[in-house]
Amino acid sequence: MDSLQILLGILSPSVLLVIFVGVLIGIIVGAIPGLNGAIGISLLLPITFTLEPQIGLLLLGGIYMGGMYGGSITAILLNVPGDVVAAPAAMEGYPLTKQGRSKEALYYSIFSSMFGGVIGVLILIFFTPPLARFALQFGPAEMFFIALSGLVVIGALGGNIYKSLFAVFFGLFISTIGVDAITASQRFTMGNINLRSGISVVPVVLGLFCLAEMFLNIGKKSNELVTYKEQNIKRITVIKDIVKHKMLVIKGSLIGTFVGLLPGVGTTLAVFLSYGEAKRVSEKPEDFENGNVEGIIAAESANNATVGSTMVPLLALGVPGSPTTAIIAGALIIHGIILGPSLFVQRPDVAYTFIFGMMMTVVAMTIIGAFGIKYFAYILKIKMEYIVPTVLVFTLFGAYSLRNNVFDILIALVLGVVGAIFKKTGVPLAPIIIGVVLGGLIETNLVRSMTIAEARQISLIQYMLTNPLAIGLLALVCVIFYVVIKMRVKTKSVS
């Protein structure tokens, strides 16, 4: 099957319809608190069994791409991120909404997602085999240093350093609750059987961000609430400004691509690493968390760039790098398609149609997002007495849907109250999320490194510094740590 035939197949009306429907579903699901692309793909997975493999894959790919962007809509308008990866969009977008610049923030989100998505898919198209081999070089030591670098980045997120440290340790504490995966010992479960499986990041995010924001809105007077304000801003103006910040887009997309390659790391680390880097190089770092579009550009470009890179180890090696790609892998297996290097030889029609078709998912996301912003912003016209119960229902449903566990709803409610208190007292919420996400990753890879070192009868330090790649990553952690301290001193002297 030649390239022209593949291209004509992708541009056929029926395939384009499937792509647009998939992206639209992804955006809607992504905007609902607690739901994400993985859940949307799970719900529509049975439908793909009636379609040709490549068409079914593009439907799922469209949901994946749309879901990555959709979470930023409610994050910007209501300070209610649809998914954890939309937290930085809430941190910068919601202050813009309070300034009457919601439309502008939404434009920055969609067009940054577009640029990141294009770069991620281009890398998927041209560099799949070599990048997949590179990803295999990362063992427990390398993954430990990658996760540690994400933890160090917390220092760049601003706010009182002591409150930030408290927040990250609180997040790390949450990540330790449950049964230890290595020793099978129970930690901080207090005899509660529901805590043995640990606390998922989803109810944590929903509680700290969604429920806390809604709790704080209850009882507010009408003049204290955010309302819709008409804003006259052209799309081309935002695109030109994003192009002026091209280094932010490139760095964000490359960070998203790199982190997306690593199985099990997830998009959250990529988003916060990119956000922290944007603040580091900004001429006005003190404006972050007060409505700085640079934060949106960096986070959203990294967010959608991960979509393409997470597909690299899946298609080239048969190794899914995230829960979403694992579900996509299941769809392929059910169709009788074997993943890995043989995929490009035995079923090139499926492989190349999917790879090139992913570029069309970016186009569909951009069209739907850019022309739908006018209607998205109308959410602010709805009275808060209607928004609060609606968001509460969707949030509690989202908390329940992940594991079908009522206890997760209780966790979300408790953390909603905690989040409201933290917001009132100035404790930052983002470090808590990073601590929860990275805590398990750091612990697991540290324990694995200790086990391997013991088996080889060498010290832990000797094992972790054997590989040149690990040494390079350790040097990167030290550089980031130095830069963060320097930036903290600079910010303190400016203020």
Distance CA 152, CA 402 (A): 29
**HSE-CB of 443 using CA atoms within 13 angstroms:** 17
Crossing angle of helices 293-317/267-281, nearest 10°? Answer: 140
For 316-338, the pLDDT digits (tens) are: 777 676 667 777 777 777 777 77
Instruction: Return the SS3 of 187.
Output: strand
In the predicted structure, residue 35 carries a pLDDT above the cut 70: no
CB neighbour burial string for 48-86, b if at least 16 within 10 angstroms, e if fewer: beebebbbbbbbbbbbbbbbbbbbbbbbbbbbbbbbbbb
Q: Is the CB of residue 81 less than 8 Å from the CB of residue 74? A: yes
Question: Percent of the chain, pLDDT > 70?
Answer: 87
Which domain does 55 fall in, by range? 3-493
In the predicted structure, residue 424 carries a pLDDT above the cut 70: yes
For 165-223, the pLDDT digits (tens) are: 888 889 889 988 888 767 778 888 888 888 888 888 778 888 887 788 788 877 665 54
pLDDT of residue 364: 93
Nearest-CA neighbor of 217 among 14, 382, 91?
382
Distance CA 273, CA 483 (A): 13
In the predicted structure, residue 228 carries a pLDDT above the cut 60: no
Distance CA 303, CA 314 (A): 18
Separation of CA 276 from chain center = 14
Distance CA 429, CA 422 (A): 8
pLDDT of residue 418: 92
Residues in the chain: 495
* Average pLDDT for 468-485: 81
Token pair for 76: 């910007």
Distance CA 93, CA 226 (A): 13
> For the chain, what is the domain count?
1
Q: Token match 């969009």: residue?
A: 89
Q: Is the CB of residue 137 less than 8 Å from the CB of residue 428? A: no
pLDDT of residue 109: 92
Q: Is the CB of residue 112 less than 8 Å from the CB of residue 104? A: no
pLDDT of residue 231: 67
Reported pTM = 0.77
Distance CA 305, CA 316 (A): 18
pLDDT of residue 368: 92
Instruction: Return the SS3 of 115.
Output: helix
* Average pLDDT for 412-430: 88
Q: Where are the alpha helices (DSSP H) in 100-184?
A: 102-135, 140-153, 161-176
What band does 158 get if pLDDT is binned at 50, 70 and 90? low
Distance CA 140, CA 439 (A): 14
What band does 494 get if pLDDT is binned at 50, 70 and 90? very low
* Average pLDDT for 124-132: 75
127, with CB counted inside 10 A (0-12, 13-18, 19+), is middle
Token pair for 475: 């040097």
Distance CA 111, CA 151 (A): 28
pLDDT of residue 111: 94
For 426-440, the pLDDT digits (tens) are: 888 878 887 887 888
pLDDT of residue 417: 92
* Average pLDDT for 274-280: 84
For 332-371, the pLDDT digits (tens) are: 777 777 777 677 777 777 778 888 888 999 999 999 998 8
Separation of CA 140 from chain center = 22
What band does 55 get if pLDDT is binned at 50, 70 and 90? confident
* Average of per-residue pLDDT values in the chain: 81
In the predicted structure, residue 102 carries a pLDDT above the cut 90: no
Q: Is the CB of residue 141 less than 8 Å from the CB of residue 463? A: yes
What residues form DSSP beta bridges with 186? 179
452, with CB counted inside 10 A (0-12, 13-18, 19+), is middle
